[in-house]
Chain A
Amino acid sequence: MNTCGAASPLSHSVSADAGPIRQVARIVESSPDSGWLLEQISSPDSGANVVFTGTVRRFTGDRETAWLEYECYAGMAVREMRRLIAECCERFSCSGAGILHRVGRVDPGETSIAIAVSTTHRDAAFRAAEWLMHGVKARLPVWKKDFAPDGSSHWVAPGAGHPAGGTRP
């Protein structure tokens, strides 16, 4: 599968010592709805929720972005989201976590990603959100092409090297 737009339903897995962990992992083709995402992953038993949204910046340094075009390896992107969410919930004892990543054209000011985490207390929620977003940046098979106002374009390649560091022997 190399087409984008696949969506997976809300899923639950059972943790040993608490209720079901609420998880959402989806590729979306329109603006990610962070309010909906939070509703899906929060629960009355958790007192801390962190929602992060990423929007497209008009300027990177002095270079202007007219729009970004996102593409993904759809099947693997959703599977990798689920792996990240499971690891995040394990590390930070989240009762829920979710990722919505947009593909296609995204203009400056529009949202490209929303993540949300839910934990008992706020310190874990902030750390979990930071960890999850870092995982998205490092591991999700998603790419963006940056289009300048003059129509020229380039694939954005962060200096971090290849994904999932250490995939080479």
Chain B
Amino acid sequence: MKIRVLFFAAARDAAGTGQLELEVDPSATVGSLRERLPEIFPGLAPVLASSAFAVDEEYVRDGARLHDGAEVGLIPPVSGG
């Protein structure tokens, strides 16, 4: 199945792109995506360690399952305000 991963701020700088279309296994979880991303973008590893994920615009834990067409946001430490 296919998902779209969005990169913001420091994560976008580290990945060198704002988004990525990715084919993942139907059993894929946020945690498995977290492990896979550094294989695609080695520079992302340090950012990933302190980042959260959102699926379809809502924060999720690493155990959350992905679904076909999911929009996955990689959320580095936020600094709004």
Which residues of A are interface residues toward B (Cβ below 8 A)? 2, 54, 70-73, 75-76, 79-80, 101, 112-113, 133, 136-145, 155-158, 160-164, 166-169
Interface status of B62 (Cβ within 8 A of chain A):
yes
Among B6, B54, B63, B76, point to the contact of A155 (Cβ < 8 A): B76
A71 and B9: CB pair below 8 A? yes
B77 and A157: CB pair below 8 A? yes
A161 to B52, CA, bound (A): 10
Considering only CB atoms and an 8 Å cut-off, how many residues of chain B contact the other chain?
28
A164 and B52: CB pair below 8 A? yes
Q: A71-B8, A168-B52 are in contact. Are A163 and B78 (CB under 8 A)?
A: yes
Q: A167-B61, A169-B61 are in contact. Are A143 and B52 (CB under 8 A)?
A: no
Contact residues, B27-74 vs A (CB, 8 A): 31, 50-54, 57-63, 73
A80 to B57, CA, bound (A): 8
B73 and A76: CB pair below 8 A? yes
Q: A2-B8, A163-B52 are in contact. Are A169 and B62 (CB under 8 A)?
A: yes
Given contacts A112-B81, A157-B77, 20 further A-B contacts (CB under 8 A): A70-B80, A73-B75, A75-B57, A137-B78, A137-B81, A139-B59, A139-B78, A141-B75, A141-B78, A141-B80, A143-B76, A143-B78, A157-B50, A158-B78, A161-B50, A162-B77, A163-B78, A167-B52, A167-B61, A169-B61
B52 and A76: CB pair below 8 A? no
A163 and B59: CB pair below 8 A? yes
A139 to B29, CA, bound (A): 22
